[in-house]
Chain A
Amino acid sequence: MARITLSDLKHSYMPNPTNDADWALKQLDVEWDDGGAYALLGPSGCGKTTLLNIISGLLIPSHGRVLFDDSDVTALAPEERKIAQVFQFPVVYDTMTVYDNLAFPLRNRGVTEDLVDVRVREVAEMTDLTAMLKNRASGLTADGKQKISLGRGLVRTDVNAILFDEPLTVIDPHLKFQLRLKLKELHHRVNNTMIYVTHDQTEALTFADKVVVMNVGEVVQIGTPEELFEVPHHTFVGHFIGSPGMNVLPCDIDNGAAHFAGQRVETANDADGVNGRKTEIGVRPEYVTFSDQGLDAQVIRVSDTGRFNVVETQCGGNRVNLLVGEGAEIPSETTKIAFNPERTRIYADGWLMGREASS
């Protein structure tokens, strides 16, 4: 068990990176508390897997350090770091039984057979594999195999952290939910640090206590699921999390106040120090309402998602989404919409302005 610190981390797959685009990971400083359940969320190609492989030791970063508690493990090989990892596609040793698969990491470390047996049975119990211990691992279904991969991580007593690299990709949808619950339950039981990489926001938000959102090689926000939803630090977070995502609308700044579609818009933060950067306002569809006064808008489309209606409107040359409860009245064609000032924020070059003030 250990706290994991990533300090001044950078990585490039090229020997001599010259411009920004050559870096798979740009400037990263993250601290993961001992025993936390973290999710690493971001679109494909944002550097999540690279980061994960750096933590597990499969990759040596081009720059910066990885610390477990206070010891520097940057140069250590994976087996010396006491890390377990579950991969996107299940990895099982086909020729072995489920039992031997679970025992493999222990036997490689020279653990006595008595102890191996105790641990394997304990872990099999946790992962619901007890009934299949004698079976060939190759005959199991995808979720069974993924449980074995997980079990091989849990079986070791020396593990600092368990890393998951999109582990539910090949699992059937109805089993995904069950396995996610299982993971959550196991986290409570073993209290290990778990880092879960995914591009699926539902998986990230339901699994993790804290979510690290990444985009093009950098961390854009770390926070609880609620923080990410309520106070996105970056338009990317606003857009990526939530369905539909946050409305991001270009705006002009005049005297520290935002103007959109020719009207002044009240916001939760002010725009001091914008200095000619590209400015936008962000407001979630949940906080846009139809009202008597406000911005002129035209309803374009209504889609029913079950509990809510997503209303798409045209406003000041931009598309603005509203989320309206089931059964609420939707005005036809021309109407006015208003933004909740508490939940409307100004962003410059994508980043939230005056961050401290608003949170």
Chain B
Amino acid sequence: MNKTVNHKAWFFVLPVLALVAFNAIVPLMTVVNYSVQESFGNNVFFWSGLTWFEEMLRSPRFHASLGRQLTFTFTILAIEIPLGVIIALAMPKKGIWVSVCLVLMAMPLLIPWNVVGAMWNIFALPEIGLLGKTLNSMGFDYNYTRQPGDAWFTLILMDVWHWTSLVVLLSYAGLVSIPDAYYQAAKIDGASSWAIFRYIQLPKMKRVLTIAVLLRFMDSFNIYTEPSVLTGGGPGNSTTLLSLDLVKIALGQFDLGPAAAMSLIYFLVILLFSWIFYTLMTRNEEQ
């Protein structure tokens, strides 16, 4: 669409700008402020330059939680994106079952995050949870509160349970927007199911999949409530993701300087990755 140049359009954006600026800029400045100061209590602060940033970037603790975060994020992306696409492809395209599927699949998305955590907490309890009990009676020694591997398994299963539907809904939206003529033309051209997927469905889903990857990336990097309720970061620190660690430092130990520096690094990492994803996935469209 051709847009007219109209600088007065700024007035339309002003309310949004005022609200978001109030919410984003003031707190962000607070964080930046903390990140360059040292406090010995009693609200007395000293300029400390970039010390906190250096310390944070060198800290093994930060490296460990960043490593766990990246492992978590890429694992769930690797599972949720293909799984979501497969489910969307297998979904009915019209009729009563579409609504049934959509409503049931969207349900996990609207459950408060701590309820998701609590639900999985009791679902996976080794003695009295359906999942835990079933696994144990099948001969697996499963206990997510004590074994880090089991904790990871539960955490990832929970996230797949919670968010795959988002990918399904997005992919499905992309699929139903493909006109019938494409499928008919492909049939006439003698294309195999694989060729139809590769040359019609996948290209047409690219836009919504970009949104899916970006949203899942950002949200999984920000995840806090669910693991905090499910495992509390344990056993040990084995499931302490970035947000969990940050809250521990900031609210648990009240080390505001390091926490602020970590926040900023954290935010920058998300921005950087989102930008890379965005550029990679939209690069071809520019040509």
In the complex, what residues of B have CB within 8 A of residue A109's CB?
190
B195 contacts A by Cβ under 8 Å: yes
Contact check: which of B179, B185, B192 meets A149 at CB < 8 Å? B185
Within 8 A of A (CB), among B135-187: 179, 181-182, 184-185, 187
**A91 in contact with B187 (CB, 8 Å):** no
Binary per-residue interface labels of chain A (90-125) against chain B in the complex, 1 for a CB within 8 Å, 0 otherwise: 010111100000001100110000000000000000
Measured in the bound complex, the distance between the Cα atoms of B187 and A56 in whole Å is 10
B203 contacts A by Cβ under 8 Å: yes
**A152 in contact with B184 (CB, 8 Å):** no
B23 contacts A by Cβ under 8 Å: no
In the complex, what residues of A have CB within 8 A of residue B187's CB?
58, 77-79
**B195 in contact with A108 (CB, 8 Å):** yes
Q: How far is the CB of B208 from chain A (nearest CB, A)?
A: 15
Given A108-B191, A108-B192: A78 and B184 interface contact (C-beta under 8 Å): yes
**A85 in contact with B203 (CB, 8 Å):** no
In the complex, what residues of A have CB within 8 A of residue B9's CB?
none
Main secondary structure of the interface of A (DSSP, over half): mixed
Q: How far is the CB of A60 from chain B (nearest CB, A)?
A: 13
**A104 in contact with B189 (CB, 8 Å):** yes
A136 nearest CB neighbor, chain B only? B287
Measured in the bound complex, the distance between the Cα atoms of B191 and A276 in whole Å is 57
**A91 in contact with B199 (CB, 8 Å):** no
In the complex, what residues of B have CB within 8 A of residue A78's CB?
184, 187-188
Chain B interfacial positions (CB closer than 8 Å to A):
179, 181-182, 184-185, 187-192, 195, 199-200, 203-204, 287
Chain A interfacial positions (CB closer than 8 Å to B):
53, 56, 58, 77-79, 83-85, 87-89, 91, 93-96, 104-105, 108-109, 136, 149, 152
Given contacts A53-B184, A91-B179, 20 further A-B contacts (CB under 8 A): A56-B184, A58-B184, A58-B187, A78-B187, A78-B188, A79-B188, A85-B188, A87-B181, A87-B184, A87-B185, A89-B179, A91-B181, A94-B204, A95-B199, A105-B188, A105-B189, A108-B191, A108-B192, A149-B185, A152-B189
